[in-house]
Chain A
Amino acid sequence: DAGVTQSPTHLIKTRGQHVTLRCSPISGHKSVSWYQQVLGQGPQFIFQYYEKEERGRGNFPDRFSARQFPNYSSELNVNALLLGDSALYLCASSYQETQYFGPGTRLLVL
């Protein structure tokens, strides 16, 4: 079975730009979560979606938004990029409270 997939794998943007990251969950999983992992730290929770509805949001500014589609895939959008947004963005899909992670999208903001 395919695991969680994310695209793109790497991305370079400049300050002020906008970025969209994509995630496809494991087949049959209806919940998707997004995490930000800054170099040398543990992942920090950004959002969780279930059945297309936002179920939780971490301590991130409104520049961060997300949505989930009818096929349970998800997009994370970040507007007005800052240097500090440079990180590995991880998507996870959930089944019975266990979260399974994708390989991540590495974003570099210059």
Chain B
Amino acid sequence: GNSVTQMEGPVTLSEEAFLTINCTYTATGYPSLFWYVQYPGEGLQLLLKATKADDKGSNKGFEATYRKETTSFHLEKGSVQVSDSAVYFCALSGAIIQGAQKLVFGQGTRLTINP
């Protein structure tokens, strides 16, 4: 079945450091890929997405490229801020089965940015 594996956390960086959070997936067919962010005590916010191979999703300085050959969707940001501290989830949306399209999530990576 479909699955997502994320880089184990927690990750702690200093402000303005470069960020990479690794995400690899296993899926049949051609899934869409997503990064969601969860701030303390809140629900999930869509950060970015890519729907086909070689697509690059970007938002708020974050980027991720859909790499079919390595089944990866790594999240990157060139210069992190304290406000980026949150839990980041990689997810895939697989084939529509009986009309349902569910998201399969990784376990999440907690990111803390120190000033």
Where the two chains meet, the residues of A that have a C-beta atom closer than 8 Å to any C-beta of B are 4, 6, 33, 35, 40-45, 48, 50, 53, 55-58, 88, 90, 92, 94, 97-104
Main secondary structure of the interface of B (DSSP, over half): strand
Given A90-B44, A97-B32: A56 touches B99 (CB 8 Å cut-off): yes
Residue pairs across A and B with Cβ atoms less than 8 A apart, 18 shown, are A6-B43, A33-B103, A42-B4, A42-B107, A43-B103, A45-B103, A45-B104, A48-B99, A48-B102, A55-B99, A56-B97, A56-B99, A56-B102, A57-B100, A92-B44, A94-B101, A101-B44, A104-B43
B43 touches A48 (CB 8 A): no
Cβ 8 A contact of A56, one of B43, B100, B106, B108: B100
What per-residue 1/0 map shows which CB atoms of B39-55 lie under 8 Å from chain A?
00011111001010000
- Nearest CB in chain A to that of B90: its residue: A42
Q: Is the CB of A48 within 8 A of B46?
A: no
B93 interface hit (Cβ, 8 Å): yes
Q: What 6 pairs across the A-B complex have the smallest Cβ distances?
A: A56-B100, A42-B105, A55-B99, A55-B100, A45-B102, A101-B44
Binding site for A on B (CB under 8 A): 4, 32, 34, 36, 42-46, 49, 51, 89, 91, 93, 97-108
User: In the bound complex, do residue A103 and residue B99 qualify as a contact, i.e. CB atoms below 8 Å apart?
Assistant: no
* A101 vs B47: C-alpha distance when bound (angstroms): 12
How close is B98's CB to chain A, nearest CB, in angstroms? 6
Chain A: minimal CB distance from B33 (Å): 11
